[in-house]
Structures are given as C-alpha cells and as structure tokens.
Amino acid sequence: MIVLKVINTVADFFGEVLKKPGDVIAVFPQPDEGWKVQIEVAEDSEYMRKRARDDLMALYEVSLDKDLQILGFERLSLRERNANSIE
C-alpha cells in the first residue's frame, strides 16, 4: 500500500537523517504533485531538561514528490509535551 511507503519514507528520514524519531499523524495525497505528511517529533532541549520541564514536541510538514523523494520540510508548531493547545 502506497500510504505505508509514504509513512515509512518520512519516519525513516526523520529517524536516520535528522536523528529525530517521530510519529506520522497525517498523510495528504496531493493530486499530480505527490504527498504532504505531518509528523510529530520530540525536540531535544538541554535547556528544558536542566529546568525539569517537559519535552518540546514539534509538528513538521513534509513534502514528497510522486517518487517519494523528500522535497522539503518545515516546522509548523512547537509545544510542551503535556500542553493541551498548539502554539
């Protein structure tokens, strides 16, 4: 199934290349363009750990072409792990 390949491509990229394993939370096919994927990852922050604060969770959007090559990604939001709202 193509959606599983999309999910695995993005998860592998974040885990292996960026060293930020995460959870894919949304996959959007883009007609005639490829895919948009949202993945949530824990941002490692020495500053937050020293202050005994929760991890920061980042939401990224990733663009892939039809051949499942990653074209780019951007961080959409950042929040504390236990925060109820996204900032």
- Counting Cβ atoms within 10 Å, is residue 63 exposed (0-12), middle (13-18) or buried (19+)? middle
The torsion of the CA quartet 30, 35, 41, 46, rounded to 10 degrees, works out to -100
Number of domains present in the structure of the chain: 1
Taking residues 14-42, what's their average pLDDT? Answer: 94
**Local structure of 58: helix, strand or coil:** strand
Asked, for residue 29, whether it belongs to a domain, the answer is: yes
Task: Fill in the DSSP letter of residue 7.
Answer: H
Considering the entire predicted model, what is its pTM? 0.82
In the prediction, which pLDDT does 85 show?
55
Task: Look at residue 87 and tell me if it is in a domain.
Answer: no
Residue 21 pLDDT exceeds 60: yes
71 within domain boundaries:
yes
75, part of any domain: yes
Q: How far apart are CA 57 and CA 87, in angstroms?
A: 11
Single-letter amino acid, residue 14 = F
Containing structural domain, residue 37: 2-80
Q: Is residue 59 part of a domain?
A: yes
pLDDT of 27 higher than 70:
yes
Judged against a pLDDT cut of 70, whether residue 55 lies above it is answered with yes
